[in-house]
């Protein structure tokens, strides 16, 4: 079952603008990760934020985590056409046992128009 | 080194037939995961292997699904008596450590059951 929801489901912006995607989850977590998926195939890991962290940066990516609200946001600054993809948040929870499998949100489809 | 590879990339089968999907993880990665992504949906965890330990099969949707991992490396996901609702992209991922670090995904196998 999916851990949470992502908002918005779809986002269309102009190249150069910033894109913000939000993710909410339901249970306590060890960490939260963001992945990108192009053309419905393999996923690429973008960034991981641990439950005791509040903000993390990687290049043009900025992730925030609010464990009290069980939510996270991904900001992509100065977007490019190549950023067009689906973006998923995924959580690892203590309740998942030794597997520590990822539980994914429903994803946001980002389209960056040139 | 090479990433995670999966074969075949596409598989079309008739309802009722058995299929085998293969995953070659990154060399040295002890953790291996199978996920399923149905059309327009997020990813659903299926099964997890860690080293020589017994697999975590808690995500398998029915007893028609099984998987094995030989020699701690290559894994095969088998679906018996396929149904139309099995149509999805099946993604394999590997990780050097369960849960704490990112997972590396293969390109997936798109299964279509007619």
pLDDT in tens, B1-30: 589 999 999 999 999 999 999 999 999 898
What percent of chain B shows pLDDT beyond 70? 94
Structurally, chain A folds into a number of domains equal to 1
pLDDT band at A1 (very low <50, low <70, confident <90, very high): very low
Is residue B100 assigned to a domain? no
User: Shortest CB distance from A102 goes to which of B41, B58, B103?
Assistant: B103
Structurally, chain B folds into a number of domains equal to 1
Q: What is the CATH number of the domain that holds A53?
A: 2.60.40.10
Res B102 pLDDT > 50: yes
Handedness of CA B49, A107, B108, B86 (dihedral sign): positive
- The verdict on a CB contact (< 8 Å) between B89 and A40 is yes
* Whole-angstrom distance, CA of residue B57 vs CA of residue B48: 7
Give A22-50 pLDDT, tens digit per residue: 999 998 998 999 999 997 678 999 999 99
Domain that includes residue B71, residue range: 5-94
Mean pLDDT of B31-58: 88
Read off φ and ψ for residue B6, nearest 5 degrees.
-135, 150
Instruction: Report the gap between the CA of A64 and the closest CA in chain B (Å).
Output: 18
Q: What is the CATH number of the domain that holds B63?
A: 2.60.40.10
Read off φ and ψ for residue B72, nearest 5 degrees.
70, 15
pLDDT band at B67 (very low <50, low <70, confident <90, very high): very high
Domain that includes residue A8, residue range: 4-113
Res B100 pLDDT > 60: no
Res A2 pLDDT > 60: no
pLDDT averaged over every residue in chain A: 91
Asked if A10 contacts A103 with a C-beta cutoff of 8 angstroms, the reply is no
CB proximity list for B57: less than 8 A, separation 6 or greater: B47, B67
Is residue B102 assigned to a domain? no
Instruction: Report the gap between the CA of B43 and the closest CA in chain A (Å).
Output: 6
- The verdict on a CB contact (< 8 Å) between A104 and B42 is yes
């Amino acid at each position: 079952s999916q851990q949470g929801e992502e908002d918005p489901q779809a986002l269309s912006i102009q190249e150069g603008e910033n894109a913000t995607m939000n993710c909410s989850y339901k249970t306590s977590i060890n960490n939260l990760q963001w992945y990108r998926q192009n053309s419905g195939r393999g996923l690429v890991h973008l960034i991981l934020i641990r439950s005791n962290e509040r903000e993390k940066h990687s290049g043009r990516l900025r992730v925030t985590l609010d464990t009290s609200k069980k939510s996270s946001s991904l900001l992509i600054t100065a977007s490019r056409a190549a950023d067009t993809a689906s973006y998923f948040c995924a959580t690892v929870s203590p309740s998942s046992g030794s597997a520590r499998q990822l539980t994914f949100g429903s994803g946001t489809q980002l389209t960056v128009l040139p | 080194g090479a990433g995670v590879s999966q074969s075949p990339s596409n598989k079309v089968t008739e309802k009722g037939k058995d299929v085998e999907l293969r995953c070659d993880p990154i060399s040295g990665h002890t953790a291996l995961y199978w996920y399923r992504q149905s059309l327009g949906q997020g990813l659903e965890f299926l099964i997890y292997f860690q080293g020589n330990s017994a697999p975590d099969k808690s995500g398998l949707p029915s007893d028609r699904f099984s998987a094995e991992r030989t020699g701690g490396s290559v894994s095969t996901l088998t679906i018996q008596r396929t149904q139309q609702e099995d149509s999805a992209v099946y993604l394999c991922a590997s990780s050097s450590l369960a849960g704490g670090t990112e997972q590396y995904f293969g390109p997936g196998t798109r299964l279509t059951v007619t």
